[in-house]
Amino acid sequence: MNRLRVLIVDDTILYRKIVGDVLSDIPGVEVVGTANNGKIAMNKIVSLKPDLITLDIEMPEMNGIEVLEQIQEKTPYVGAIVLSTLTHEGGEMTIKALELGAFDFIPKPQSGTMAENSKAVKDLLVPMLKAFSRRKEIQNILKGKPFIKREAAGKDSPANKSPKSLKYTTDVAGRIEKIPAVRRLKSEIVVIGISTGGPNALAKMMPDIPHDIGAPILIVQHMPPIFTKSLAKSLDAKCAIDVREARDGERLASNTALIAPGGKQMKVVAGADGKDRIIRITDDPPENSCKPSVDYLFRSISHHYIGRATGVIMTGMGSDGTIGIKLMKRNGSFIIAQDEDSCTVFGMPKVPIATGSVDVVAPLENIAREITSTVKKLA
């Protein structure tokens, strides 16, 4: 496998050294250069042609957002992992960076020794680099596939048709087989689990949810505190439904999406009247090293919405959500998974699809419609 070529971009010499030392210790990674501002970075990207840059989000002259906009226009083959401060402004800029296509982000350590900060960065960066390398390999393989140009294809050509969602079930032997769409009872709640690539995917998918979908939507996006509030604010500006960070004790409401606060766990419990469902935000331990955790939320949904829920598992590293999906499926929920081609990282949907826990596998562009069909019973 080719070495992963990385350019370090940061206006602080301390973080250039921390990131540089971490990268130098990772097999298969080559640091091809450094830059202390965005303008220098763009010149070096053109000359050095790195596979990936580590990008400070807050820099003078040209900040990380402006660098990503330039990359989209001039060098879209270059990936980016953003380094961000744990501040309100840093959170909003990070969400913008992820919506612009940054692969993932790392919060800059705010205290500790040099050795402690280096370890914190390495623990986060190593799995990201592995996931990025795997995605790059898949993209290179897909480049070799034959294709038909849309302008040259006939109206019935696959090149002129939207990607289709695939319906699945399992036969008596446990083998997965494709089947026609099955008509089901409508769902009363939608829950979404998502991680790496999530802000970008949600920014594309959520605006397609109709304003009158008629059910609450709960979202677990793997993020630390501050960033989930910024994500909610960004999505709220784009969506027809209300989107906000969840608050402990609030009742679920239709046409509203609630995002689990970073660094906390979110679940659903029965209200005092036995009818309403209430959000509980807790400080329970991480699950699958995640807080918030998809499994933690999905497990509560499987108990309180038997046969009346839609679970959606989307792009992300790791396996958080696999057990929760299995429980929801066992209790009659309808399960939608994002397909491999449209995932930034095909981790979280992979096992649920492979083990037959999924009813529909859909490209990103179809997920909002698939969700809506389970709530509104569209044809």
Q: Are residues 33 and 172 in the same domain?
A: no
Q: Are residues 351 and 228 in the same domain?
A: yes
* pLDDT on residue 319: 95
In whole angstroms, what is the distance from residue 372 CA to residue 379 CA? 11
Asked if residue 148 belongs to a domain, the reply is: no
pLDDT averaged per 10 residues in sequence order, the chain, 379 residues: 88 92 93 94 95 92 93 93 84 93 90 87 93 82 47 38 59 42 72 97 98 97 94 97 97 97 97 89 96 98 95 96 96 96 95 94 96 78
Q: Are residues 207 and 78 in the same domain?
A: no
pTM more than 0.75? yes
Question: Domain holding 132: CATH number?
Answer: 3.40.50.2300
Q: Are residues 188 and 272 in the same domain?
A: yes
Angle formed at CA 289 by CA 320 and CA 298, multiple of 5 degrees: 35
Q: Are residues 217 and 294 in the same domain?
A: yes
Contacts 24+ apart (CB under 8 A), 106-115: 106/81, 106/82, 107/83, 107/224, 107/227, 108/15, 108/83, 108/84, 110/85, 110/86, 114/18
Q: Are residues 130 and 191 in the same domain?
A: no
Asked if residue 230 belongs to a domain, the reply is: yes
Asked if residue 41 belongs to a domain, the reply is: yes
Asked if residue 150 belongs to a domain, the reply is: no
Question: Domain holding 229: CATH number?
Answer: 3.40.50.180
* pLDDT on residue 182: 40
In whole angstroms, what is the distance from residue 323 CA to residue 334 CA? 15
* pLDDT on residue 141: 64
In whole angstroms, what is the distance from residue 26 CA to residue 30 CA? 9
Q: Are residues 180 and 139 in the same domain?
A: no
Q: Are residues 28 and 129 in the same domain?
A: yes
Greatest CA separation found in the chain? 66
Which residues have a catalytic role annotated?
A: 195, 222, 320
Q: Are residues 169 and 213 in the same domain?
A: yes
Q: Specify the number of domains making up the chain.
A: 2
Asked if residue 296 belongs to a domain, the reply is: yes
Asked if residue 149 belongs to a domain, the reply is: no
Q: Are residues 95 and 236 in the same domain?
A: no
Question: What domain range includes position 194?
Answer: 158-376
Domain boundary among 143, 168, 199: 143
Residue by residue, what is the 3-state secondary structure of the chain? CCCEEEEEECCCHHHHHHHHHHHHCCCCEEEEEEECCHHHHHHHHHHHCCCEEEEECCCCCCCHHHHHHHHHHHCCCCEEEEEECCCHHHHHHHHHHHHCCCCEEEECCCCCCHHHHHHHHHHHHHHHHHHHHHHHHHHHHHHCCCCCCHHHCCCCCHHHCCCCCEEEEECCCCCEEECCCCCCCCCCEEEEEECCCHHHHHHHHHHHCCCCCCCCEEEEECCCCCHHHHHHHHHHHHCCCEEEECCCCCECCCCEEEECCCCCEEEEEECCCCCCEEEEEECCCCECCECCCHHHHHHHHHHHCCCCEEEEECCECCCCCHHHHHHHHHCCCEEEEECCCCCCCECCCHHHHHCCCCCEEECHHHHHHHHHHHHHCCC
Asked if residue 219 belongs to a domain, the reply is: yes
Asked if residue 151 belongs to a domain, the reply is: no
Domain boundary among 143, 174, 198: 143
* pLDDT on residue 202: 98
Nearest to 2 by CA among 139, 137, 130: 137
Q: Are residues 125 and 198 in the same domain?
A: no
Q: Are residues 317 and 184 in the same domain?
A: yes
**How far from 252 is each of 6, 84, 199, 231, CA to CA, in Å?**
45, 32, 23, 20
User: Is the preceding peptide bond at 225 cis, omega within 30 degrees of 0?
Assistant: no
* pLDDT on residue 163: 62
Domain boundary among 96, 111, 143: 143
Angle formed at CA 258 by CA 254 and CA 259, multiple of 5 degrees: 160
In whole angstroms, what is the distance from residue 242 CA to residue 235 CA? 9
* pLDDT on residue 90: 81
